[in-house]
A and B are shown apart, each in its own frame.
Chain A
Amino acid sequence: MSKDFQQPLLKIENLSKDYSLGKIVVHALRGVNLEVPQGDLLVISGPSGSGKTTLLNLIGAIARPTSGDVFLEGKALSKLSDGRLAELRNHKIGFIFQSFALIPVLSVYENVEYPLLLLGASRKERQRRVMDMLGEVGLGELARRRPNDLSGGQHQRVAIARALVTEPRLVLADEPSANLDSETGDEIMKLVARLNKEQKVTFIVVTHDPVVSRYARRSVHIRDGRLLNEGVETRACD
């Protein structure tokens, strides 16, 4: 093991997030601590309203915490400006959302190409990476389709391709199978597990469906903004 492998890819320290709705304060996260090593496939499961999306948003630098901090490759996100955070999301993080997350006016190809355009990759580079990635998720044939002409499962495969095309350090998935039937949901999770294994992409998947945990290397449970069984190993990291 090399030295920097000992530093976790992601480290969360005492993370809290409050939302104030008028006079009521919702404590969505209450002091979460977590470490995620390079190559992990962590599933965070919990009931609706337990704080899963909030946690994912803070990890993904989409929102800022009330207290505590997130360290990605040792770097504190709280120290970065909004512009730097956008750059970081573009370069280092991939997002997979529950649904409706493709840009409807762009083709499958263009959707996957989008983050590469933001990165300023050359035309040739983009073409190579997009077609590789579409092949990887089994959609090479559908490159010219519009999202509206896709099935739910195909939709999520495109979303996965888009999340991975920049070769991010960390991919965050918010209930990627929630809007799919269980068979298609399984396929999506199998794809995630395969990409994790073959491409060594680190995934964090949140879900309210405990069944999804069986694809995890590790799984944790969240309830009322607290992690219950921090860092329980389900499968060994290889």
Chain B
Amino acid sequence: MLVIKLALRNLFRNRRRTILSLSLIALGTAALFLFRGYNVDVITAVKDSAIERHGHFQIATEAYWEGGRYGYDYLISPELLAGVKEVLAEEPQVISYSTNLGLEGLIATEERSIPVVAIGIQPGNPVPDVEVKEGRRLEQADLEAVLISPGLARALEIEVGDYLMVTARTVHGDFKSGNVKVAGISRPGEIEGTTVITPISFNQMMRETDRIGRIVVKLDDHGATEEVALRVQRALEGNDLAGLRVRTWEDLAWFHHLLALFLNSVFGFIGLVIFLLVLFSVLEALTMAFFERIREVGTVRAIGTRRHQVFGMFLSEGVLLGLFSGLLGVALGWGIGSLINVAGLTYILPIAGEKLPFRIALGLDVAWAPFLVALVATTISAIYPAYRAAKLEIASALRFV
């Protein structure tokens, strides 16, 4: 208690110096907080959209995942699908699932044609959920309809209601053509470049099969993904469905990983810079405090204060400085972050080419890292002056002027 009291009083002894250190650390912490808040927001948004697109996990044959999509046997037969449905029915956390069958082919108007991948989905099923800008989503009654991205609509110069011709191979290797009507155009970013969305029944008709490619599963909780995926994989193996493999959205969403890795590395770098900045400025401030107090250390040691207590006084001063300025920085970052969120700013990310909301995630999961940077940096920089103060010889400290 004595040690803490003295540290606290000494901290505010040279007000100008302390306020300077305090503001520097608080500003650094706030900057880190804002950057991390932005990162968390972007990563969460990307994660949510990845889950929108991929579901929480998907089930397909090993051959399907390995990419050997030729021939016939990589697809899931209706009998196997029935088995999978039984397994999924046992999982209360599965809220919905949908079957997919892809179709690779050409999509064409009278003037031009473009190679596309048509993702055949079950219309009316919430998985995957595509937001539509013009027209409407696919509905259960749709047999020959398509959802396209705005980019593709521009490239083909078509609008909602126009017809397109699709040409693809059947599972037997023959070519086959069919017509689809543009039911809707998605919002930007909802569908990737040359992908279109069709009813699975259309794709099955085109490929002349009753099989499906994969099953997309959605859960009621992001956090349960790994656990449920593992249980389903075991159940599949136990039910003679050993050829089927579960892949989670994390396995599938490479972009999410890359972005998270990139943003976290940038955070690490900025964090390190701010860490060093805080370290050296606090080291300087506390070293100055050390020189000013050499005589005083001599005095308190002469009247019976132990070395470790002197060490504690100087160290506590750094820790308290780190605590205060870290808290202040987090509060500052939090405040600025709230203002940014209220202001509803948007920005354009070059690779996406669309307006994104500029938001800062707030919360303790954002705050802990910047706070820790401030606290650890100040604590470390206090160690050396504290050590020097503790090591002082009393008699020479008392002679020091």
- Chain A contact residues, CB within 8 Å of chain B: 53-54, 57, 60, 62-63, 82-83, 86-87, 89-91, 94-95, 97, 100-101, 103-106, 114-115, 117-119, 162-163
Cβ contacts under 8 Å, A62 to chain B: 301-302, 394-395, 398
B259 at the interface (CB under 8 A from A): no
Considering residues B9, B10, B300, B394, which has the most beta carbons from chain A within 10 angstroms of its beta carbon?
Answer: B394
Sample (10) of A-B pairs whose CB atoms are under 8 Å apart: A57-B394, A57-B398, A62-B394, A63-B393, A94-B303, A103-B6, A105-B10, A114-B2, A114-B300, A118-B303
Q: Is the CB of A104 within 8 A of B303?
A: no
Cβ contacts under 8 Å, B300 to chain A: 103, 114
B306 at the interface (CB under 8 A from A): yes
Q: Is the CB of A60 within 8 A of B304?
A: no
B299 to chain A, nearest CB (A): 5
6 tightest Cβ-Cβ pairs between the two chains A and B: A90-B304, A105-B9, A63-B395, A62-B394, A89-B304, A57-B395
Cβ contacts under 8 Å, B36 to chain A: none
Q: Is the CB of B13 within 8 A of A104?
A: yes
Q: Is the CB of A117 within 8 A of B2?
A: yes
Q: Is the CB of A97 within 8 A of B393?
A: no
Cβ contacts under 8 Å, A163 to chain B: 303
B56 at the interface (CB under 8 A from A): no
Contact of A87 among B10, B302, B304, B399 (CB under 8 A): B304
A224 to chain B, nearest CB (A): 19
- Chain B contact residues, CB within 8 Å of chain A: 2, 6, 9-10, 13, 295-296, 299-307, 393-395, 398-399
Cβ contacts under 8 Å, B399 to chain A: 53
Cβ contacts under 8 Å, B296 to chain A: 103-104
**Provided the pairs A62-B395, A104-B13, A106-B9 are in contact, do residues A162 and B303 lie with their beta carbons within 8 angstroms?**
yes
Cβ contacts under 8 Å, A60 to chain B: 302
Q: Which residue of B lies closest to A87 (CB)?
A: B304
- How far, in angstroms, from A117 to B2 measured CA to CA in the complex? 7
Cβ contacts under 8 Å, B295 to chain A: 100
A79 to chain B, nearest CB (A): 19
Q: Which residue of A lies closest to B8 (CB)?
A: A105
Contact of A63 among B6, B9, B303, B394 (CB under 8 A): B394
Cβ contacts under 8 Å, A100 to chain B: 295
B370 to chain A, nearest CB (A): 30
Q: Is the CB of A95 within 8 A of B302?
A: yes
Q: Is the CB of A86 within 8 A of B305?
A: yes
Cβ contacts under 8 Å, A91 to chain B: 304
Cβ contacts under 8 Å, A87 to chain B: 304
A86 to chain B, nearest CB (A): 5
Cβ contacts under 8 Å, B393 to chain A: 63
Considering residues B6, B302, B303, B395, which has the most beta carbons from chain A within 10 angstroms of its beta carbon?
Answer: B303
Cβ contacts under 8 Å, B302 to chain A: 60, 62, 89, 95, 97
- How far, in angstroms, from A62 to B394 measured CA to CA in the complex? 6
- How far, in angstroms, from A87 to B304 measured CA to CA in the complex? 6
- How far, in angstroms, from A86 to B310 measured CA to CA in the complex? 12
Cβ contacts under 8 Å, B306 to chain A: 83, 86
Cβ contacts under 8 Å, A86 to chain B: 301, 304-307
- How far, in angstroms, from A105 to B306 measured CA to CA in the complex? 19
Q: Is the CB of B299 within 8 A of A103?
A: yes
Cβ contacts under 8 Å, A57 to chain B: 394-395, 398
Cβ contacts under 8 Å, A103 to chain B: 6, 296, 299-300
- How far, in angstroms, from A115 to B393 measured CA to CA in the complex? 20
B401 to chain A, nearest CB (A): 9
B353 to chain A, nearest CB (A): 60
Q: Which residue of A lies closest to B6 (CB)?
A: A105
Cβ contacts under 8 Å, B394 to chain A: 57, 62-63
Cβ contacts under 8 Å, B304 to chain A: 86-87, 89-91, 115, 118-119
Considering residues B13, B299, B304, B307, which has the most beta carbons from chain A within 10 angstroms of its beta carbon?
Answer: B304
Q: Is the CB of B303 within 8 A of A89?
A: yes
Contact of A90 among B6, B10, B303 (CB under 8 A): B303
Q: Is the CB of A97 within 8 A of B395?
A: no
- How far, in angstroms, from A63 to B399 measured CA to CA in the complex? 12
B116 to chain A, nearest CB (A): 76
Considering residues A53, A82, A105, A162, which has the most beta carbons from chain B within 10 angstroms of its beta carbon?
Answer: A105
- How far, in angstroms, from A101 to B302 measured CA to CA in the complex? 10
- How far, in angstroms, from A104 to B394 measured CA to CA in the complex? 18
